[in-house]
């Protein structure tokens, strides 16, 4: 049995009602629900939320919302593993025992259902703990810096590599913020995802935009509309 779990809490700070906000004509969470449906992999698409509006919208588009997420798991400090593990434990109490579980983010309108399918295949082939959707940085992160004080003075993040003229042979990746695969027991027993025992599925940068700010939201719309023009 495979289950998709979509974490979607109601208390969005920077974008009000982010998980149900209309994105290019649809509530943004609908794109994640639809992608999960299109894979035809899942016996259940479960939304974990503490919010009545998210519950209503999720059910409307075919997801299951069998419980209300506890407040202690609905704040900024709660990690994604804790949320998914809570859902799995709840299901086990109801005698539902999933094998593989895919965590799909609620704000991932660029998600492609074929990549979700491919991700499960990679996880099974590599026999790693987690499969993470990821993409590579567009710029050399070794040349990054921060502003250290009010005078806007520069502080290098990677001092030893900043002035190196030798180009890095290996690409550096980051979390795409779309989906993670793992066995149910892995979600319940492991505390960390980003370890040497995890693998990735690489996504193209044009298919990735993590949405945390209004600027992110607007850029995601540009990418989405550009992709839509090809059809």
Do residues 108 and 163 share a domain? no
Do residues 72 and 154 share a domain? no
Give the residue carrying structure tokens 């990677």: 158
Tokens matching residue 193: 């995802």
Bridge-partner residues for 202, per DSSP?
134
Do residues 132 and 142 share a domain? no
Q: State residue 226's pLDDT score.
A: 84
* Ordered DSSP codes for 51-105: -HHHHHHHHHTT-B--SBPPGGGSSTT--HHHHHHHHHHHHHHTT---SEEEEE-
What is the side-by-side order of every strand in the sheet holding 198-202? 44-48, 2-7, 100-104, 173-183, 130-136, 198-202
Residue 88: give its domain's CATH number.
Answer: 3.90.550.10
Do residues 76 and 130 share a domain? yes
Contact 3, 44 (CB under 8 A): yes
Q: State residue 231's pLDDT score.
A: 39
Do residues 101 and 155 share a domain? no
Bridge-partner residues for 147, per DSSP?
154
Do residues 187 and 166 share a domain? no
Do residues 187 and 216 share a domain? yes
Do residues 188 and 144 share a domain? no
| pTM for the structure as a whole | 0.91
Do residues 120 and 100 share a domain? yes
Task: Please choose, from the candidates 93, 50, 99, 106, the residue with its C-alpha nearest in 3D space to the C-alpha of residue 75.
Answer: 50
Q: Is 110 helix (H, G, I), strand (E, B) or coil?
A: coil
Per-residue pLDDT of the chain (231 residues; tens, 9 = 90+): 999 999 999 987 788 899 999 999 999 999 999 999 999 999 999 999 999 999 999 999 999 999 999 999 998 888 999 999 999 999 999 999 999 999 999 999 999 999 999 999 999 999 999 999 999 998 888 888 999 777 788 989 888 888 876 655 578 899 999 999 999 999 999 999 999 999 999 999 999 999 999 999 999 999 999 876 553
- H-helix or E-strand spanning residue 214: helix 214-228
Do residues 92 and 145 share a domain? no
State how many domains the chain has: 2
Q: Which of 171, 191, 216 is the last residue of a domain?
A: 171
Query: Rounded CA gap, 200 and 96, in Å?
Result: 28
Q: Which of 171, 189, 218 is the last residue of a domain?
A: 171
Do residues 50 and 8 share a domain? yes
Q: CB burial class (10 A; 0-12, 13-18, 19+) of residue 167?
A: exposed
Domain residues for the domain of 78 are 2-136+173-228
Query: Rounded CA gap, 63 and 57, in Å?
Result: 9
Do residues 81 and 145 share a domain? no
Query: Rounded CA gap, 172 and 164, in Å?
Result: 16
């Amino acid at each position: 049995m495979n289950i998709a779990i979509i974490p979607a809490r109601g208390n969005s700070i920077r974008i009000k009602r982010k998980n149900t906000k209309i994105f290019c004509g649809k509530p943004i969470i609908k794109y994640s629900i639809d992608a999960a449906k299109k894979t035809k992999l899942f016996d259940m698409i479960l939304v974990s939320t503490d919010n009545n509006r998210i519950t209503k919208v999720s059910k409307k588009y075919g997801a299951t919302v069998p419980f209300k997420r506890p407040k202690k798991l609905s704040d900024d400090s709660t990690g994604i593993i804790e949320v998914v593990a809570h859902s799995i434990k709840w299901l086990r109490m109801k005698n539902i025992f999933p094998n593989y579980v895919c965590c799909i983010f609620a704000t991932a309108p660029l998600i492609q259902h074929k990549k979700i399918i491919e991700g499960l295949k990679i996880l099974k082939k590599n026999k790693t703990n987690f499969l993470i959707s990821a993409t590579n940085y567009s710029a050399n992160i070794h040349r990054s810096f921060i502003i250290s004080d009010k005078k806007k003075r520069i502080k290098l993040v990677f001092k030893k590599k900043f002035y190196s003229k030798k180009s890095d042979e290996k690409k550096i990746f980051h979390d795409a913020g779309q989906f993670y695969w793992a066995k149910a027991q892995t979600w319940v027993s492991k505390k960390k995802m980003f370890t040497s025992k995890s693998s990735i599925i690489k996504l193209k940068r044009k298919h990735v935009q993590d949405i945390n700010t209004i600027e992110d939201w607007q850029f995601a719309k540009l990418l989405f509309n550009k992709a839509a023009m090809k059809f």
